[in-house]
Amino acid sequence: MKILIVDDEPLARERLTHLLTELNHDYQLIEASNGLEAIDQVNNEEPDIVLMDIRMPGMNGLEATSHLMSIDNPPAIIFTTAYDEYALQAFESQAVDYLLKPIRKERLEKALNSCSKLNKLQLEQLGQQNREISYRTHISAQIRNNLFLIAIKDIYCFLADHKYVTVKYNKEGALAETIIEDTLKSLEEEFENSFLRIHRNALIRKDNIEALQKQSDGRVLLKLKDLPEGLEVSRRHLSRVRKLMKT
């Protein structure tokens, strides 16, 4: 069995490694020190179980879990935490596996033997009950069975086209795009502070607006920095775009 230990504190990882080796010498152990590394490790190593700390820099455990849940065969996840009043209440109410640090060997063994896979519903509930740590810093897309992350700050816009939503983003200086599974409506709600709807099919990052261009046929296009072609602004959303540009 392959187990991934995710924790930002070296001492916490060290202790779990010791405990797990004592439980079974044959466990294959791998480590990650934050959510981003954890996703890399899951992509490359395909562990069976992930022991996931909740509070970590870069990407916290809840967000990493929400990304991992979108791959086809996600690992089982057991949360670990030293103290999280609200998260624990949520875990209790959703019957999600969690371990309190310092973790007891017997509790760890029990959790490993009985761990079940999280379902989407449980995860959604966890997010709703933990507003403070449930924001996403990344969007995930699945490419050939691998999970692939795009930082929110690199995204120019989301464009809806029939069934799919395409995200245009900055990939190491170059413009790139990929298809994601989120809907435009849910993205608009989640990122209402940093993104603005300008058309039925377009959501753009607010701090990336360059200029409004009126076309000869009466349409209004919005020019974004670093994006060659302008995006159409619908009449319904025009006033809000103007208001934003004034401030």
Partner 1 sequence: MVFSVVIIGELLAFILTLAPLNMASQRWNNLALISLFIQWNGLMCSAVLCLLRPFIKNYSQQFIAISSYLSILFILALLSELTFYIMQQYAITDIISATSHWEFLTHNLLIGGIISALALRYFYIQHQWRLKIEAESCTKLQLLQARIRPHFLFNSMNSIASLTRTRPDVAERITEDLAELFRMILRDNHELITWSKEKELSQRYIDIEQQRLGERLKIQWHTDTIPDNALIPALLIQPLLENAIFHGIEPEINGGSITVSGEFDSTKLKISIQNTNSKNLVHRQGNKMALSNIRERLHTHFPDNASITCHEKDDIYFAIVTMPYQHKPDE
Which residues form the interface with partner 1 (CB under 8 A)? 8-12, 14-15, 18, 33-34, 55, 57-58, 82-83, 85, 100-102, 132, 135, 137, 152-153, 194
d(CA 133, CA 55): 8
Task: Annotate 89-108 with three-state secondary structure.
Answer: HHHHHHCCCEEECCCCHHHH
Question: Nearer to partner 1 by C-beta: 135 or 201?
Answer: 135
**Is the backbone peptide bond immediately before 102 cis, with ω within 30 degrees of 0?**
yes
Contact between 120 and 112 under an 8 Å Cβ cutoff? The reply is no
For 65, list phi and psi in degrees, rounded to 5.
-65, -40
Question: Measured from the CB atom, is 34 or 208 closer to partner 1?
Answer: 34
Give least dist CB 57 to partner 1, A: 5
As a whole number of Å, the end-to-end CA separation of the chain is: 56
Could you tell me the smallest distance in angstroms from the CB atom of residue 230 to partner 1?
27
207/210 with CB nearer partner 1: 207
Between CA 92 and CA 205 the distance in angstroms is 37
CB of 234 to partner 1, least distance (A): 28
CB 90 within 8 A of CB 125: yes
Smallest distance from the beta carbon of 11 to partner 1, in angstroms?
4
Question: Given the complex with partner 1, which of 138 and 237 has the nearer CB atom?
Answer: 138
Closest contact distance (angstroms) between CB of 80 and partner 1 is 10
Q: Among residues 88 and 212, whose Cβ is nearest to partner 1?
A: 88
Q: Which is nearer to partner 1, 129 or 142 (CB)?
A: 129
Q: Give the single-character DSSP code of 68.
A: H
- The CA distance from 108 to 106, in Å, is 5
Kindly state the tokens that stand for 99.
């371990």
Q: How far is the C-alpha of 133 from the C-alpha of 61, rounded, in Å?
A: 9
Q: Would you state the structure tokens that stand for residue 94, as one six-digit string?
A: 């959703």
Minimum CB separation from partner 1 for residue 76, in Å?
A: 23
